[in-house]
Structure 1
């Protein structure tokens, strides 16, 4: 028979593994962290990773308690997020494509604190698909848990998010000096192109919703 301590650890591990499962697939947040680790100063890249984790945790908690249901109830909210989110994401991707090789990693192109925080917020919260997917995963899991286990489960999700994004930044930043300017430029362009594709997909979803 599993004791109280064992049950607590079990709920925590469920939250931890669920958190890693949500973060691991390559998406906008991971691309943003990777790009910052390669092109920004180490201090600025850690700040970016911290705020990505912070906003991701806030979104996970919101998904756990049913923000996806709110979006389904208010169709206009989903449409608005899709429109503004897609345009902002496309704009960010274009900026990455336009960055010159000589500019990558220079102090002149280092993001301001405001831009770092606002971009991290947009990457996490202006992606309706991520909100809905997160709600399906975390919301579905919530109904299987006793109410008193919620803080323990969410604690596991919180730790997974911080470990993932800070760890990803650490690994990429540690090895970025091994990349020359040409490689950095290529990575920058790939990240920019993928981000634009994400933005176009969001915009396509917006058009689909409008038509139907």
Structure 2
């Protein structure tokens, strides 16, 4: 139980700060029906848990070992992230039922959820430092309950975030939704630019 609680608290501390995943889940909750928003959250949870497992077992070590892998992820990740940001900046929110009845295609939701989770080499390396360090410094018997706690944290956080935003989205009018899109788009664009600058510094 102690290892489970450690994993739960560390997982919440890792996933809670505002990031690409949170912005994506928030935007989906505002734009779509509650049912579709929860489906999006489940997809994000799946990719987030997969990333946590990979970090726990040391995928970050591969990125440290193979520089080309890290550089490639930085380049393509920065372009895709900035593309998502531009899409949000150009979007025209409409707080009507018609908008909710025409959700983003499932394939686009899946690919975007993958991008905001996996196309972030810094997050992979940071996650590896946090999670893999526990794996190698604690008894083997604590590995399963710990990583289970991390997975629970992901499920609890994104489900709760989706529930709160979906339940109160009617309080947001079209102007507020537009500003949320602009703020999210700018943050994501800046994040993508940061990845691109990191890429350039590594190849120069």
Which TM class, normalised by the smaller chain length?
A: over 0.9
Asked if residue 182 in structure 1 is aligned to residue 175 in structure 2, the reply is yes
Structure-1 residue corresponding to 2:11: 19
Alpha-carbon offset, residue 101 of structure 1: 3.4
* Equivalence map 1:43-62=2 (5 Å): 43-62=35-54
Look up the SS of the partner of 2:137 in the other structure: coil
TM-score normalized with structure 1 length = 0.92
Unaligned runs of 5+ in 1: 1-8
Q: Are the aligned partners of 2:31 and 2:100 in contact in 1 as well (CA < 8 Å)?
A: no
CA contact (8 A) 1:87 1:199 kept: yes
How many Å separate the matches in 2 of 1:191 and 1:157?
26
For 2:106 and 2:23, the matched residues in 1 are separated by: 19
* Regions of 4+ moved over 6 Å: none
Residue from 177, 196, 200 that aligns with 1:203: 196
Task: Give yes or no for the alignment of 1:173 onto 2:163.
Answer: no
Residue 146 of structure 2 corresponds to residue 153 of structure 1? yes
Partner of 1:6: none
RMSD: 1.5
Pairing 1:31–2:23 present: yes
Count of aligned pairs: 203
TM-score norm. by structure 2 comes to: 0.95
Cα deviations by residue, 1:84-137 (Å, 9 ceiling, x for unpaired): 111000000101100123488715862100001110011000000100110011
Q: Paired residue for 1:130?
A: 123
Q: Go from structure 1 to structure 2 and tell me whether the alpha carbon gap of 1:115 and 1:104 turns closer, same or farther (over 3 Å shift).
A: farther
